[in-house]
Structure 1
Amino acid sequence: MKIIATPKVIPVHIISGFLGAGKTTLLKHVLSQKPDGEVWAVLMNEFGQIGVDQALLPQDQGYAVKELLGGCLCCSSQMPMQIALSRLLSENKPDRLFIEPTGLGHPAQLLEQLTEPHWQSHLNMRALVTVVDASRLHDREWSTQNLYADQLKAAQIVALSHVDQMTDADQQALDLLKQEYQPYQQLWLDAPQGQVALAQIDLAYTASTRKMQPLLQRIQQQPELAQQVIKQLPYHYVETRADYSVAGWKLPKGWHFHFMDLLDLLCEQQDWLRIKGIFATDEGWKSFNFNPAQFNYQSVEEGIDNRIEIIYPTTEARDWLAFENALMQCRIVEAE
């Protein structure tokens, strides 16, 4: 796709967050800090067909706001987002750009799109911000959703809204959450009523190294697949951030596993920092949440797929093929 040239590299901020977290409130406060003489642009995405958030933003001179409706610019076809962004840049020539994806979106996928080579001479990606409603952290049903976790993992900065409404249970949940996400080395900010200074979030984007491939068993059988990068299930990935790495597998929802065999396998693992997973088993859908002090598992609602992540120090060498082979041995394969 042809990208219309712009005279400078534009700082770009992604402001993500789950439904109702306070993204637009925070964005409004940041926009109020625009220097005189600059033009700032906002690209908003709403899942429905009627845009509401655009009407809540400043309409004064010096702001350019564009909406993409009906779907998610993170995970739907890239073309509408590419066209809208290209037009916004060429027509308004902004000095700074803010992108607010829908609360049902996956910001990591959007970030992946915007860091592709053809955008690098136009966009200067800044630290990805995820807004979290701190007054709802006590609600485990809310805070353990896969989408919620995906948004939090993508964040380089976590902005905590509604901190003035936090209970003791919320504070305890926050302490545990910070401990759980310590390997991601995020910056946590209080943002009461969405109040953060632009300088607090205007930090350089720090890329993590993520390699997504077919299952290691397939790579072993067909070495030419080792260089193949895929996103379709099933797949394996390894993501590295500074002193920590995460190895993960996403497997089709239709695959089922022997619960006891799976539990034995996870309990046998050594030298890890965190193990989290959700699987369809012969005893129903089960989630696993292991830390070195406690092994927790429980029955959960039906998931969107089978998945597992293991966080470990980068200093530790791992035989992930052996683990994957053992994991596949736990799978229930119906006789044809």
Structure 2
Amino acid sequence: MKILQTSAVKTHIISGFLGAGKTTLLQHLLSQKPENERWAVLMNEFGQIGVDQQLLPQTDGYEVKELLGGCLCCASQLPMQIALSRLLSDSKPDRLFIEPTGLGHPAQLLDQLSEPHWKQNIQMQAPVTVIDGSRLHDQLWTEQNLYQDQLKAAQIVVVSHQDLMNDLDKQALSELKREYQVYVQSWILAEQGLVKLEQIDFNYQRVERKLQPLLSIQRQIGVDQVLPEIKQLPYHYVETTQGYTVAGWKFSKHWQFNFYDVLDVLCEQKDWLRIKAIFNTDQGWMTFNFNPEQFNYKSGEENIDNRVEIISAQSIQTEAFENSLLKCRIIQK
């Protein structure tokens, strides 16, 4: 699937939860197209009937394509590869915008588009996530895993409907900025999608994440052996961004942990900036959200897995932490 492209096309991913205002933002960005350039848009709708495409310019200088059904982030890569290749080869755009469905996982799309196959054809710009500022007070909304995954993938966050934000929303935004300071480089308060192109026109700084076997398993692998490719739980990962280190673990949802033992292990950690976790415990599913000022935990909904993540500006004693955590597991007899 060869694409004849003289130079890499600046490519922006505009993600966001359902109803956040992605298309409104995109409309305003497209209105800033120079007359001598050709821009293209690849949109993804989860259903089989496209609507958003009809809301965008259909005039000379724009090429808008939709990929219907499923999610281009996490479904088979082939439909996305074909659609994107055709759009680049047929339209030869100077700039490209990709709008995944509101149910999409932009981190997976970023991984796909960062593969060597695309490097000569596209130049990834800082990924943008749009959030509805007027709903930040709603914890049922903001605590969803998909919502949080989209924020973690963003380097720029556009806060829409800021004119409708109440005091609780503003307080929640301050907390959100603190929580995602490791990932997000810029926060933009926008009314009606009024964002200038130069506010988002920065190169993507990729976060390297290494998925590896649990540290206890790695010790059993010879130094001359290659670590196995991780395709299923459990696993351990480390990523570094903007001078911070993030260490995380994911375990099967069927693993159960002693609640008070897990709480003790988390409270004993030192020199961290943030600890977030979801565990299946003998007290039910529990969520933990620690920052240096507050140690919050409460019962939560069943999750797809057990997970914990520690953010620190210092080195993290990962092996000691993992050993302590595994001792909290309840082994069924």
- Confirm or deny a common fold (TM above 0.5): yes
Point out the more displaced range, 206-215 or 291-300.
206-215
Point out the more displaced range, 63-72 or 10-19.
63-72
Matching residue of 1:50: 49
Report the Cα distance in structure 2 between the residues aligned to 1:41 and 1:229, rounded to whole angstroms: 36
1:78 and 2:77 aligned = yes
Matching residue of 2:237: 237
Report the Cα distance in structure 1 between the residues aligned to 2:56 and 2:233, rounded to whole angstroms: 39
CA offsets per residue over residues 258-313 of structure 1, 9 Å max, x none?
11111111111111111001111111110001111111100011112111110001
Letter aligned with residue 160 of structure 1: V
Query: Aligned to 2:329, which of 321, 328, 331?
Result: 331
1:219 and 2:218 aligned = yes
Change (3 A) 1:85 1:73: same
Report the Cα distance in structure 2 between the residues aligned to 1:229 and 1:194, rounded to whole angstroms: 42
Matched-pair contact (CA < 8 Å) for 2:44–2:72: yes
1:193 and 2:192 aligned = yes
Report the Cα distance in structure 1 between the residues aligned to 2:217 and 2:15, rounded to whole angstroms: 35
Letter aligned with residue 301 of structure 1: E
Report the Cα distance in structure 1 between the residues aligned to 2:225 and 2:284, rounded to whole angstroms: 33
Matching residue of 1:317: 315
Cα offset, 1:225, TM superposition: 6.8
Matched-pair contact (CA < 8 Å) for 1:214–1:225: no
Point out the more displaced range, 48-57 or 162-171.
48-57
Matching residue of 1:283: 283
Report the Cα distance in structure 1 between the residues aligned to 2:88 and 2:144, rounded to whole angstroms: 35
Report the Cα distance in structure 2 between the residues aligned to 1:225 and 1:304, rounded to whole angstroms: 31
Unaligned 5+ runs, structure 2: none
Report the Cα distance in structure 2 between the residues aligned to 1:131 and 1:226, rounded to whole angstroms: 40
Letter aligned with residue 329 of structure 1: K
CA offsets per residue over residues 29-68 of structure 1, 9 Å max, x none?
1011111132111111111121111111111111111111
Letter aligned with residue 326 of structure 1: S
Aligned residues: 332
Identity rate of aligned residues, in percent? 66
Cα offset, 1:222, TM superposition: 2.0
Matched-pair contact (CA < 8 Å) for 2:40–2:97: yes
What is the RMSD computed on CA atoms of the aligned residues? 1.4
Report the Cα distance in structure 1 between the residues aligned to 2:18 and 2:254, rounded to whole angstroms: 28
Report the Cα distance in structure 2 between the residues aligned to 1:324 and 1:268, rounded to whole angstroms: 13
Alignment of 1:131-142 (within 5 A): 131-142=130-141
Matched-pair contact (CA < 8 Å) for 2:7–2:121: yes
Structure 1 length as normaliser, TM-score?
0.95
Matching residue of 1:24: 23
Instruction: Name the structure with the higher helix share.
Output: 1
Change (3 A) 1:105 1:93: same
SS in 2 for 1:184: coil
SS in 2 for 1:192: coil
Matching residue of 1:269: 269
